[in-house]
Amino acid sequence: MKIKTGDTVKVISGHYKGTIGEVKAVNPKTNKIIVEGVNMIKKSLKPTQMNPEGGIVEHEAGINASNVMIYDSKAKAAGRVGFSTDGKGNKTRVNKKSGKEIKGGKK
């Protein structure tokens, strides 16, 4: 999967199209990612000892990784992810549209 936790992405399809947010979690098995503020759902919780009031909680649900593109805030453009190597054989991720190296992102 080319998108990692901590990357800034732009949603390119669906109800939240055009929204820019940070990736909170990645699940490569299901090809889903959780983006901050995108695909908000409401869940009813029963009262428990930890949460005696219960109630309705709102949080993000996963979206397919194909519905987002990596976002470059300096160029203000979304692009695909490519890879390049330096002379030492180190592989780095590159934004294909701006040509800049993608910094950040945790494995």
- pTM (2 d.p.): 0.82
Q: Residue 41: which CATH number?
A: 2.30.30.30
- Number of domains the chain contains: 1
Q: What is the pLDDT of residues 26-56, one digit of tens each?
A: 999 999 999 999 999 999 999 999 989 989 9
Count CB-CB contacts under 10 A for residue 50: 6
72 lies in some domain: yes
Q: How many CA atoms lie within 13 A of 15 on its CB side?
A: 6
Pairing of strands 63-64, 32-35: antiparallel
Q: What is the pLDDT of residues 4-25, one digit of tens each?
A: 999 999 999 999 999 999 999 9
104 lies in some domain: no
